[in-house]
Structure 1
Amino acid sequence: MGLDCRAPNFSLTTNQTFVADKLSSLNIFNISLLGIVSTIGIIENLLILGVVGFRVNRSIISIWILNLAASDLLATSTLPFFTLYMARGGTWILGSTFCRIYSSIFFLNMFVSAFLLAAISLDRCLVVVQPVWAQNYRNLQLVGKICVGIWAFAVICTIPFFMFRDAIPLQSGKIMCYYHYSLYLPSKPFDLKALCRQRKEGLAFMKLFFAFLIPLIIIILSYVAVNASLARRGCRRPFRFVRLVIAVVVTFVLCWSPYHLFIIIEVMASSGSPAQKVASKALPISTAFGFLNSVLNPILYVFSCPDLCRKIRHSLGAVMESVLAEDLAEFSRRRSTARSSISNSEFAIRKKSSTQMFSLKPEDSKLGDSLSNSAETCIMTS
């Protein structure tokens, strides 16, 4: 088995995920970015799933948002493992099976997120361009079936990436979670190097077309059609709508274009070329920006809705009030218990003192009188 079959450039793979033992400032920045994105993404998507799933009436847009938030939560939940991988200098310590699972979740989110964004754009386009058809056929059941189909197709697209992912030991002693193109070899004679290159290029261009270019074209054409339809009717485009369209397209392009660009450069550039070295070093950062899309999606599609923002603020306020009420109740209970114990202690001391006074013997009474007389004498003479 040739070395080139395990990774796009096996001689450069140690550079791809930080060959240096000491983390550079760029690596520290990337790890910090991953940690921030992971924390915000998990909290944000959990909040949206809770509010939209339990406090918002079921609607078509809520189904889109729930599926998008579920996909983004799935992706951001794997970020801590990727952060650990980066923090250990590009050494994978969680085994081959989990390497495949973790990588597959990343690619599944890539496909699901792109397909859902395209479907949401088409849905809005049909509502504006074909309002009669949308009124008659657009319902919760249809949108639910479309979401199931999107997830199923995304799983099918993810299968090749699951198959060719593996934990690969390097000569430097590190273990890399990356592609292993020489798995599942055919039984008939073949050129191993050519086969590995075909698989490498096929996976790269599959991601480029299905997870980026085709959804991006659908998003752009959908909003162009919406804009043209509104213009023909003489309707003024709301500023919020225009802002949302621009934000969706720009965010999708900025988050995912660097990742796909460097993947294609790494695949197409010759082995050991400067372009491939740059692409190998830039891939971890571009992957982090791809994850960033899972944080920005809820902001674009959820927080642009004032009613939903109000519900989220109300939910957070209710949670905080509940927590504060429990804390105050606990504090009052403890304070009341402390006061009760102090009062009981004082009562016991006073009762004991009173008992002792009434139980003094005659000799003790005489001793007390003499002590009192001595005290008075000291006061008089001083």
Structure 2
Amino acid sequence: MSDTYCPLIQDMVKSNETVKQVNMVTVSIHGLVSAFGIFENLLILWVIGFHVPYSVLSIWILNLAVSDLLATASLPIFTYYLAQGSTWNMGPIFCKIHSAIFFLNMFVSGFLLATISLDRCLVCLRPVWAQNFRDVRMAVVVCISLWILAFLNTVPYYLFRGTIKRQDDRIMCYYNFMQFAREGNSTEDCGIWQDATASSKFIIAFLLPLVAIVGSYVTVSSSITRRGRRRTYRFFRLVVAVVVSFVLCWAPYHLFCLLEAIAHYRPELRQFVARGMPVAASLAFINSVLNPVLYVFSCPDFMAKIRQSLSKVMESVLVEDLDDVCRRRSTTRSSVSELLQRGQRLCSAPSHNNSVGQDEDPSVF
């Protein structure tokens, strides 16, 4: 690996400062998000996979839960990285894989949230077409296509990612654009790659999904308004929650990515970007926890399924325990009854049969 890096990375390599206060906040956020997100998304996968008939909406939510589960499951690794003082000890390949999971979730989440919004808009505006062509098979094909598209968009970030050793012997897991820079044009190429990655993430994973979400819900809301105010108000609350959560979780991250690209030309911004990027990434991960809350747990039917599923599990556990106790009691009672009957036969037997007691002592009864 080359000993020279892009200007922003060079400043990070020379920095010996560990922002412990920011790291502790980030570690705490990551720990809470990871624990709750893993449980939450596993619960959704369990309920949809075993207790809910497959439908178009369940396919959307199932894929969204898989993506969010991957993101939240990778959080403990990044939490460990931060807790160790922002030093990566798991090798360059795992650095690439861990970073790729984050970006894969970023693209898949944006694509799926936009797809769910467009699907609802289509059902509302074209109910006949939706009835004839909207089915589970179509949803599966769309989801596979979205995963492939997200994977292709993730590949550049996998290639650019690498481990970089600082002067204080800490190891970063970050971009290393210099490994693809042309000789003699390294600084210019660094700026080009930095601008390209930041702008492409912002447009593909944030701006376009946001436009699709807002545009779809505005269209649906205007259509529902003609049917009655009460339904519009309930729908409006969900729309506001979806848009606000998406913006609050992902806007800070993309803002810092754009600032990071600007910092290539504005050195005074580099320290601010280095401090704020971990916190912004943590907020982005929170979206993996909010997605199920907004799209799944807000649905009364799904909550009823969860309660039914949990009650069935507890009921089966209790029934198994009770059956086990009953079997043990039944076995014990039958054994005692059998022994009492044998004792009564021995006590009432003639004296010349007492030789049997050599094998079975009747005094034990």
TM-score bucket (shorter structure): 0.7 to 0.9
* Residues 1:313 and 2:307 are matched in the alignment: yes
Q: Which residue of 2 aligns with 1:212?
A: 206
Report how far residue 291 of structure 1 moved: 0.5
Partner in structure 2 of residue 109 of structure 1: 105
Residue 52 of structure 1 and its aligned partner are, at CA, apart by: 0.6
CA gap of 1:271–1:10, structure 2 versus 1, over 3 A, is farther
CA–CA distance in structure 1, aligned partners of residues 124 and 136 of structure 2: 18
Task: Report the Cα offset of residue 263 of structure 1.
Answer: 1.3
User: Are 2:224 and 1:226 equivalent residues in the alignment?
Assistant: no
Deviations 1:63-117 (A, max 9, x none): 0000000000011110010000000000001100000000000000000000000
Name the residue aligned to 1:34. 30
Aligned partners of 1:284, 1:330: CA distance in 2, in Å? 52
Aligned length: 332
Q: Provide Cα deviations, 1:269-323, integer angstroms capped at 9, x if missing partner.
A: 3567443322210111111110100011001111111111011122223333444
Specify every segment of 5 or more residues in structure 1 that has no aligned partner in the other structure, as ranges: 339-382
How far apart are the structure 1 equivalents of 2:168 and 2:330? 65
Paired residue type of 2:210: L
2:106–2:205: 8 Å Cα contact kept in structure 1?
A: yes
Partner of 2:248: 254
Asked if the contact 2:5/2:176 (under 8 Å) is kept, the reply is no
Deviations 1:335-360 (A, max 9, x none): 9999xxxxxxxxxxxxxxxxxxxxxx
Provide the rounded CA distance (Å) in 1 between the counterparts of 2:3 and 2:218. Answer: 49
Distance in 2 (CA, whole Å) between partners of 1:62 and 1:210 is: 25
**How far apart, in 2, do the equivalents of 1:328 and 1:28 lie?**
47
Q: Match for 2:283 among 286, 289, 297? A: 289
User: Is contact 1:169-1:176 (8 Å) kept?
Assistant: yes
Match of 1:10 in 2: 10
Greater Cα shift, 323-332 or 147-156: 323-332
Of the candidates 38, 45, 49, which is equivalent to residue 41 of structure 2?
A: 45
Instruction: Check if 1:85 corresponds to 2:61.
Output: no
Is residue 193 of structure 1 aligned with residue 201 of structure 2?
A: no
Q: 2:69 pairs with 69, 73, 77, which one? A: 73
Deviation at 1:234, TM superposition (A): 4.2
Amino acid at match of 2:12: L
Partner of 1:371: none
User: Is 2:172 aligned against 1:181?
Assistant: no
Task: State the distance in 1 between where 2:79 and 2:14 align.
Answer: 17
Question: Following the alignment from structure 1 to structure 2, what is the Cα–Cα distance between the partners of residues 59 and 116?
Answer: 15
Distance 2:331 2:84 in 1: 51
Cα gap change, 1:331 to 1:285, in 2 (>3 Å)? farther
Letter in 1 for 2:298: S
TM-score, length-scaled by structure 1 = 0.80
How much has 1:171 moved relative to structure 2? 1.2
1:14 offset after TM fit, Å?
A: 6.9
Q: Mean Cα displacement is larger for which, 189-198 or 115-124? A: 189-198
Cα offset, 1:239, TM superposition:
3.1
**Once the two structures are aligned, what percentage of the paired residues are identical?**
49
Tell me which structure has the larger Cα radius of gyration: 1
Kindly tell me: are residues 316 and 8 of structure 1, through their superposed partners in 2, closer, same or farther at Cα, counting changes over 3 Å?
farther
Match of 1:137 among 133, 149, 156: 133
CA distance in 2, matches of 1:313, 1:207: 39
Q: Taking structure 1 as reference, are residues 326 and 259 closer, same or farther at Cα in structure 2, changes over 3 Å only? A: same
**Residue of structure 1 equivalent to 2:351:** none
Tell whether the 8 Å contact from 2:13 to 2:167 is kept in structure 1 after alignment.
no
Counterpart Cα distance in 2 of 1:169 and 1:331: 62
Structure 2 equivalent of residue 263 of structure 1: 257
For 2:125 and 2:117, the matched residues in 1 are separated by 12
Q: Which runs of 5+ in 2 are unaligned?
A: 333-365
SS at match of 1:78: helix
Q: Answer whether contact 2:41 2:66 (CA < 8 A) is retained.
A: yes
Check conservation: 1:19, 1:89, Cα contact below 8 A: no
Checking the alignment, whether the CA contact within 8 Å between 1:13 and 1:280 is kept in structure 2 is no
**Partner SS, residue 173 of structure 2:** strand
SS of residue in 1 equivalent to 2:172: strand
Give the superposition deviation at 1:29.
2.0
Matching residue of 1:98: 94
